[in-house]
Amino acid sequence: MPDCVVRCEKLFKTYVAEDIETPALRGVDLTIEAGAFAALAGPSGSGKTTLLQLVGGLLSPSSGRVWVERQRLNDLGADALARLRLRRVGFVFQAYNLIPVLNARENAEFVMELQGVSAAERRQRALAVLCSLEMEHYAERFPNKLSGGQQQRVAVARAVAANPALVLADEPTANLDSKNSQKLMDLMRKLNRERGTTFLFASHDPEVLEHVDRVIGLSDGKIASDRAAQF
């Protein structure tokens, strides 16, 4: 599978709380090719976020198998999964989740700093990404001095600056207005085309679904549709 970034086989995930079992995924088979710009779509509770978290190694499946590039996540312990996330996966969370004590540039540098990239290189890479996201003038601002859209762009910069193979974005436009949503999606598309970074979104926002190449529809924890987006 040389061009495959994500592969899931018969993936089941059931949450158990106080002896009550809640199935979130019921046998998902999925392949995402390198350089894809795809979205998991579906209503709330359809299993989009769960699938994204399984692919990102943040959750373990109840059964079934997940590969990211050539790594089978089921075989990895917590520390190895953390290393995989650090080196190969970028995350954009719904609620921005920037680190409040770091400014925009430092947030964008954060993953690279964990990776051990030299100060000069990570500064240059972070500024380049912030520049491509039109955030160069806000680089030294702290998150509490940035608008929602600006914070989300910094979150994208943090996810892509370290050059991951895969960026997982969970409802990236949920807290943005239509104009900012469109702008953010355009910027991510630009990064996808320029850098070849694979993007996988979880969203039910039409703004997102309009921009992607492929929409994977989830319903009740199963893939209900998988189609190339219509333009």
| CA 46 – CA 185 distance, rounded (Å) | 23
**Alpha-carbon Rg for the chain in angstroms:** 17
The piece of 83-91, 132-140, 181-189, 194-202 that touches another protein (CB under 8 A) is 83-91
Using CB under 8 A, pick the residue from 85, 105, 125, 153 that binds another protein: 85
205: phi > 0 → left, psi -120 to 50 → alpha, else beta; which?
A: beta
- How many residues line the site for another protein (CB under 8 A)? 25
| CA 108 – CA 191 distance, rounded (Å) | 15
Amino acid at 152: Q
Q: Which is nearer to another protein, 71 or 97 (CB)?
A: 97
- The pair of structure tokens assigned to 215 is 């929409």
113 binds another protein (CB under 8 A): yes
Cβ 62 to another protein shortest distance, Å: 15
Q: Which is nearer to another protein, 19 or 79 (CB)?
A: 79
* Phi, psi angle pair for 32, to nearest 5°: -120, 125
Cβ 92 vs Cβ 151: under 8 Å: no
- Binding flags for another protein, 26-55, as an x/- string (CB under 8 A): ---------------------------x--
83 binds another protein (CB under 8 A): yes
Using CB under 8 A, pick the residue from 4, 34, 114, 174 that binds another protein: 114
| CA 129 – CA 162 distance, rounded (Å) | 10
Using CB under 8 A, pick the residue from 4, 34, 58, 76 that binds another protein: 58
Using CB under 8 A, pick the residue from 31, 97, 175, 182 that binds another protein: 97
Cα 112 to Cα 18, 207, 220, distances in angstroms? 40, 30, 37
- The pair of structure tokens assigned to 182 is 């469109």
Q: Which is nearer to another protein, 67 or 91 (CB)?
A: 91
Cβ 169 vs Cβ 95: under 8 Å: no
100 binds another protein (CB under 8 A): yes
Q: How far is CA 107 from the centre of its chain?
A: 16
59 binds another protein (CB under 8 A): yes
Binding site for another protein (CB under 8 A): 53, 56, 58-59, 78-79, 82-87, 89, 91, 93, 97, 99-102, 110-111, 113-114, 158
